[in-house]
Structure 1
Amino acid sequence: MALCTFNGRAYLGEQLASLLAQERRPDQIAIYDDGSVDGSWEFVQEWAQNAPLPVSVHRHAERMGYVKNFEAAVQALDTDLIFLCDQDDIWLPNKISLMAQEFEEHQDLLLLHTDARLVDAAAQDLGVSLFEALRLSDNERQAVLAGNALEILCRRNLVTGATAAFRRCLLEIALPFPTALVHDEWLAIASATCGRMSLLDTPTILYRQHANNALGMPLSKWRIRQLLGAPSGQFHKRYAARQGELMKQISKLSSMHAVEPPPFLPEMKKHVAFRSNLPTGNLKRIASIFSEWKSGRYHVFSNGIRSVARDILNR
């Protein structure tokens, strides 16, 4: 299990207690601290000395950021399965046993992620699951379960690292982590390109939402962003950068590991090029968007009518 910390002392006690309360305890824990100044480092050092299982603790001399911190942590483990662990959540008691059983029953499975129950800073239920907050559709769910996750992941990331586990052999494919992508997103892309990833609808953690989340799902802002999103002009720059990086990395993985590149990649390139270079004139932009809509690519590679509305408004 790879646990990364940075100024998370307020919640570490509950998280670590939930790890020891697992029906099937971790075989090994690697804790990597990224320069905490709130007592987190001292706390995990003391906890590791008294833990009833092997725990290694490490601290970076300089801030690495959460992606590179996780990259270091996963490489410190020699277990067959690697679980990603955030510092501020609470694991439900059957998380490890449930997910390990899935890997045992499906030998071709490289990565598995699950639903979660969203809670506030005090661990009070917010009344919505992670998959509900992400608006995971039945079509997306069925595509992932059928082994066709890559096309979905190229549209948007569905994998939350705090709910994910993967086989150690995935590191042979995924290292080093690209700096332009979040670690959980990248591990999902790598597993779906060179193997199979899947999901479980069962919640396995209490996914805590609070003001200091490095990554999270702040519900009060999330719903407002769904249609309009980022300030005018910023979204398409980020969209082009992310999609360009994804296509580059997928092509690189396909070449390095002798797998067929996904057949949808040429159509995806057309759609990314279109959305990255929208006409500036209103009438011309609307006409071109309508033409792109008729091609079906908005539905496959973007978020359908929501993306059309964003592009018409030039947001």
Structure 2
Amino acid sequence: MKQGDEDKLTCGVALCTYNGRAYLAEQLASLLAQERRPDQVVIYDDGSADGSWEFVQEWAQEAPLPVTVHRHPERVGYIKNFEAAVQLLDTDLIFLCDQDDIWLPNKIALMANEFEKHPDLFLLHTNAKLVNAAAQDLGVSLFEALRLSESERQAVLAGNALEILCRRNLVTGATAAFRRRLLDIALPFPASLVHDEWLAIVAAAHGRMSLLDAPTILYRQHANNALGMPLSKWRIWALLSAPPGQFHKRYAARQGELMKQLTKLSAMNAAKAPSFLPEMKKHVEFRSNLPSGNLKRIASIFSEWKSGRYHVFSNGIRSVARDIVNR
């Protein structure tokens, strides 16, 4: 079944594992409990040593749907692991799946329905309920933890997600699904950008990405998360206690790679708005090379603020405050 047919789109799940045996049974059970079961599941293990590999092999043999399992001989990391897994799916839609979450029963049906209603939709992500290691509700949603603003939400829904994603990533891969043809543009995944944010950027540049406010997973937060949500109430203390310039080094690396990749997309005639790249470059270079002297730094930050670029390419006054203290 291919796109354009009157039948429903086929749905595949790319599940990556690495020492996640403690949570795998619940996650895999939630896949089988879907109102609309996946048509195909690919599980790629990254050299687990806790019994995960043996467990998924046994599960695949007994599962009532097509499942293939694969393993890297040496650990490659979660980005390359997902890159390998998604390429083995031949379904119309690909759902990214972490080993330690629990999918709510309507996840696949809800999201697939959106793709079927909107042929121009390339990638869709959703809200989630944050839970602890024991799957107990933490009383906060993913979008709340991300501090998703109403203006950001409306920009994404209006088809203007690219500018938001140039500032920061809003897409959590565990809640995301995308059309397989997106891989024709997105592969290979850049090493310095997380796979979910890269897929979202390509989708926003090439077509349209969107979001759903409804939660579709229990997003487990625990000590061994590869990536998790910063839930600490002491954000200001963490900011002030960080080594000077630490954030700006990471910022320069991320934004530099992003601009390089957006330039490639522009050359492929895939980017919607390559005209913003020169202004973005000015802002990135400014924030990556802040003056060391306090007075000179504050004066230059004020000048950059007046240009409006802090609002377009960073997080407005919050980024100004970070740059003033150089943290």
TM-score after normalising by structure 2: 0.94
Seq. identity, %: 85
Q: Is the 8 A contact 2:262 2:271 kept in 1?
A: no
Decide whether the 8 Å contact of 1:227 with 1:306 is kept in 2. Answer: no
Counterpart in the other structure of 1:138? 150
Equivalent runs, 1:275-290 vs 2, <5 Å: 275-290=287-302
* 1:54-133 correspondence to structure 2 within 5 Å: 54-133=66-145
User: How many equivalent residue pairs?
Assistant: 315
- CA shift for structure 1 position 111: 0.2
Aligned twin of 1:199: 211
| C-alpha spacing 1:189/1:226, structure 2 compared with 1 (3 Å) | farther
Secondary structure of 1:231's match? coil
CA contact (8 A) 2:206 2:272 kept: no
- Equivalence for 1:161: 173
Distance in 2 of aligned mates of 1:305 and 1:22: 43
Q: Given that residues 250 and 261 in structure 1 are in contact (C-alpha distance below 8 angstroms), is that contact kept between their aligned partners in structure 2?
A: no
5+ unaligned residues in a row in structure 2: which ranges? Answer: 1-12
Alignment of 1:265-284 (within 5 A): 265-284=277-296
Contact preservation (8 Å) 1:4, 1:34: yes
279-288 or 136-145, which deviates more: 279-288
Q: Deviations for 1:196-218, whole angstroms, at most 9, x for unmatched residues?
A: 10000000000000000011114
2:277 aligned with 1:251, yes or no? no
15, 33, 42: which one pairs with 1:21?
Answer: 33
Amino acid at match of 1:46: E
What is residue 324 of structure 2 aligned with on the other side?
Answer: 312
Aligned counterparts of 1:122 and 1:162: Cα–Cα separation in 2: 18
Letter aligned with residue 207 of structure 2: G
Structure 1 residue ranges (4+ consecutive) displaced by more than 6 angstroms after TM superposition: none
Measured in 1, the distance between the counterparts of 2:186 and 2:192 equals: 14
SS of 2:275's equivalent in the other structure is: coil
The AA in structure 1 aligned to 2:281 is K
Give CA-to-partner distance per residue, 1:139-166, whole Å, 9 cap, x none: 1001100110000000000000000000
Superposed, 1:26-41 pairs within 5 Å as 26-41=38-53
User: Which runs of 5 or more structure 1 residues have no equivalent in the other structure?
Assistant: none
- Comparing 253-262 and 9-18, the one that deviates more: 253-262
CA, structure 1 residues 298+8, in 2 after alignment: closer, same or farther (shift >3 Å)?
A: same
- Structure 1 residue matching 2:259: 3-state secondary structure: helix
Deviation of 1:223 (Å): 3.7
> Closer, same or farther in 2 for the Cα pair 1:240/1:57, shift >3 Å?
same
Match of 1:297 among 309, 320, 323: 309
Contact persistence 1:23–1:96 (CA under 8 A)? yes
Give the letter for the 1:108 counterpart: D
283-292 or 89-98, which deviates more: 283-292
TM-score normalised by L of structure 1: 0.97
The CA deviation at 1:263 is 2.4
| Cα separation, 2, equivalents of 1:301 and 1:84 | 28
Among 4, 11, 15, which residue is 2:23 paired with? Answer: 11
